[in-house]
């Protein structure tokens, strides 16, 4: 009977776990839909930003601007977006591996890399590996405009004055409920090609948010002056990277957690079924043994 009690205890434990995972699945599903709608709602804004940048792409002042300069990369700043919590499958580990590979491909050492961690998982990962984590922001459900502007302003200042040679952002790009793609994009030096790729990642091929790509115009006359206009619009165009990375990362996190919890619930159900069969077999064996003992006793008494 001790074996039956142990099996019964395991069944109850699995049932409680399944209750928790189903509840987490339902919560993640609701948050996922909200995050998806937020990401979709901002996609037209990102396309408009590409249109603005494409119209001034031929300007000589733009090419010579401090935020668009190019050169050799000896120091890099990475903004890494992960979740604060786990239970989301390989969501965070995929982004962290992607950043590690990008750093290795650039030939940089930990002393040449500065990390801005958005999410506790990124902070813990890089701090434990000797990287300098200068800034940490918790990854909350709300995408704060103040945080976006703060991150972009600090990155733009450091890049413009030569403290770093490139600024990149790493996040999970939301493709579908069952697919998220770890992505690294270059914020500075700001380029039309990189911003167009961001929009290409987030713009669906069909539907209300699918629009034709803007055509590049060789040159515009800009007033009051190109330097004043570019100083105003370039940081805001760069904020598109951070804003949409946070939206896409949020949608990816909730999608991955919903799928992970659904998988856990399914596995718990399978385990509960297997344990129930094992319990029934053990109970039947115990009943058969008791019947055999009673029958054997009666036969012994009759003889």
pLDDT digits (tens, 9 = 90+) for 124-153: 999 998 898 988 988 876 777 788 888 888
Nearest to 263, CA basis, from 97, 83, 28:
28
Domain ranges across the chain? 2-25+264-302, 44-258
pLDDT tens by residue, 57-82: 556 566 667 788 888 889 999 999 99
**Higher model confidence: residue 166 or residue 297?**
166
Tokens 């209750």 -> residue? 19
Instruction: Give exposure, 90-107, as e/b (b: 16+ Cβ within 10 Å).
Output: ebbebbbebbeebbeeee
6 contacts 245 by C-beta, under 8 angstroms: no
73 contacts 105 by C-beta, under 8 angstroms: no
pLDDT tens by residue, 218-253: 455 556 666 676 777 777 778 877 888 888 888 888
Q: In whole angstroms, what is the distance from residue 188 CA to residue 77 CA?
A: 10
Q: Tell me: pLDDT of 55 over 70.
A: no
Residue 225, classed as helix, strand or coil, is coil
Which CATH number is 2-25+264-302 given? 1.10.287.80
pLDDT, mean of residues 278-285: 85
pLDDT for the residue numbered 175: 78
Q: Tell me: pLDDT of 98 over 90.
A: yes
Cis omega (within 30 of 0) for bond into 158: no
Q: Tell me: pLDDT of 88 over 70.
A: yes
pLDDT for the residue numbered 226: 64
pLDDT for the residue numbered 215: 47
pLDDT for the residue numbered 214: 46
CATH class of the domain whose range is 44-258: alpha beta
Q: How high does pLDDT run on average in the chain?
A: 80
């Amino acid at each position: 009977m001790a074996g039956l009690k142990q099996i019964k205890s395991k069944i109850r434990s699995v049932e409680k776990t399944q209750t928790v995972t189903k509840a987490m699945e339902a919560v993640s599903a609701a948050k996922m839909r909200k995050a998806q709608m937020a990401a979709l709602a901002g996609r037209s804004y990102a396309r408009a930003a590409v249109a603005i940048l494409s119209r001034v792409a031929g300007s000589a002042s733009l090419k010579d601007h401090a935020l668009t300069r190019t050169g050799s990369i000896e120091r890099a700043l990475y903004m890494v977006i992960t979740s604060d919590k786990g239970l989301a499958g390989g969501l965070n580990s995929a982004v962290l591996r992607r950043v590690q590979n990008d750093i290795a491909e650039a030939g940089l050492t930990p002393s040449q890399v500065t990390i801005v961690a958005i999410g506790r998982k990124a902070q813990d990962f890089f701090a434990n590996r000797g990287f300098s984590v200068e800034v940490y922001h918790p990854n909350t459900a709300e995408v704060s405009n103040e945080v976006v502007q703060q991150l972009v302003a600090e990155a733009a200042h450091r890049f413009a004055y030569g403290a770093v040679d490139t600024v990149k952002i790493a996040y999970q790009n939301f493709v579908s409920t069952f697919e998220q793609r770890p992505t690294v994009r270059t914020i500075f030096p700001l380029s039309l090609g990189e911003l167009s790729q961001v929009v290409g990642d987030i713009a669906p091929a069909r539907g209300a948010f699918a629009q034709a790509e803007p055509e590049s115009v060789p040159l515009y006359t800009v007033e009051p002056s190109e330097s004043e206009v570019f100083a105003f619009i370039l940081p805001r165009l760069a904020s598109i990277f951070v804003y949409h990375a946070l939206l896409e990362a949020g949608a990816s996190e909730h999608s991955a957690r919903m799928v992970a919890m659904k998988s856990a619930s399914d596995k718990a159900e399978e385990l509960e079924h297997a344990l129930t069969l094992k319990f029934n077999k053990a109970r039947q064996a115990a009943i058969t043994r008791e019947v055999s003992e009673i029958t054997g006793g009666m036969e012994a008494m009759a003889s």
